[in-house]
Amino acid sequence: MERRKMGSNFSWQQELYAAADRIRYRVMEHTVKNNGGYLAQACSSAEIFATLYLNVLNLEKPEKPLESGAFTGVPGPANPNRQTGAIYNGKKSREYDRFFLSPTHYSLVLYATLIEAGRMAESALDNFNKDGSVVEMIGADHSPGMEIMTGSLGQGISQAAGIALARKLRKDTGRVVIFLSDGECQSGQFWEAVQAMSFHGLENVLAYVDINGYQCDGKTSTVMNLEPFHKRLEAFGARVYRIDGHNVEALAALGKLPPDGRPTFILCDTDPCRGIDILRKRIPKLHYVRFNSPEEREAYRQAYNEIMRSKAAGREL
């Protein structure tokens, strides 16, 4: 898939929408290729990721896209070669933001975003889900764009909060920006973290939550209700906004708010089938797309080709 040159004829909003589409369709391409994948997550969060990396996050500008290396072994006293995926987000400094992906089954969405942001080479994705590679299906602290261990849901926000406290103690001006998904907010640890971030006045935390309304067992409201989510968060002492998570203007504007003493949560209501209508047939089982038959896989391949044809024919980016 070609990443087109951004032209002056297009507004920044159009560029973000185009990048978001390339993110979700790249994930779709891999889902068909790998006979499965976390596709609905790309549909729901593509605009959030595109807006974060191309508009909101203040990160060091990349010199050139990085290739992906081989995994050099788990951290430990016997391994001096520990690696971090944070290098894809540029160097750390007082003024730069830090990004943390909490639900690591969104890894492929992040990888696709790193390509859009010119931070990871497109060819790095050839190693996706390959044995011995760091470009893992469910990434870890060595995977591109990641620097902490977050796949066990609920732990990401607490670790990021510890980092936010450290940055507050050091008087860093950069923020701690966290991406969360709605299902993990059912965990006790999530609420412990919000309570503690609010108690310790971590106003340098900015969290975007993808409320796509579905989790492994099905519709979130039937698995364990979170609503009224924004009111619950407010009651825990957070500053909360609730928006259409596909609206890049709203996503971008709320990413530039001055701090007010509280951690900020941007709750993003999203559609897990956005841009890929064929997914709607699978509702409510959207957590992971595993094709039930060669025919189904073929139908997704055709849907992908159709989308690519219409994109090529249209005047879209």
- Of 146, 109, 141, 147, nearest to 128 by C-alpha is 109
- Cα–Cα dist 314/214, whole Å: 32
Interface with other proteins includes 105 (CB under 8 A)?
no
Least distance between other proteins and beta carbon 95 (Å): 16
DSSP state of 217: T
Whichever of 170 and 315 has its CB closer to other proteins, that residue is: 170
- Of 198, 77, 101, nearest to 159 by C-alpha is 101
Contact 58, 97 (CB under 8 A): yes
- Cα–Cα dist 186/283, whole Å: 21
Cα 6 to the center of its chain, rounded Å? 22
Interface with other proteins includes 43 (CB under 8 A)?
no
* Contact mark string toward other proteins, 132..171, x via CB under 8 A: ---------x-----xxx-xx-xx--xxxxxxxxxx-xx-
Where in 185-244 is the site for other proteins (CB under 8 A)?
188-189, 192-193, 195-196, 199-200
Whichever of 13 and 83 has its CB closer to other proteins, that residue is: 83
Least distance between other proteins and beta carbon 159 (Å): 4
**Count residues contacting other proteins (CB under 8 A)?**
33
* Contact mark string toward other proteins, 56..75, x via CB under 8 A: ------------------xx
Torsion of CA 220, 222, 224, 229, to 10 degrees: 60
List contacts with other proteins (CB under 8 A).
74-77, 82, 141, 147-149, 151-152, 154-155, 158-167, 169-170, 188-189, 192-193, 195-196, 199-200
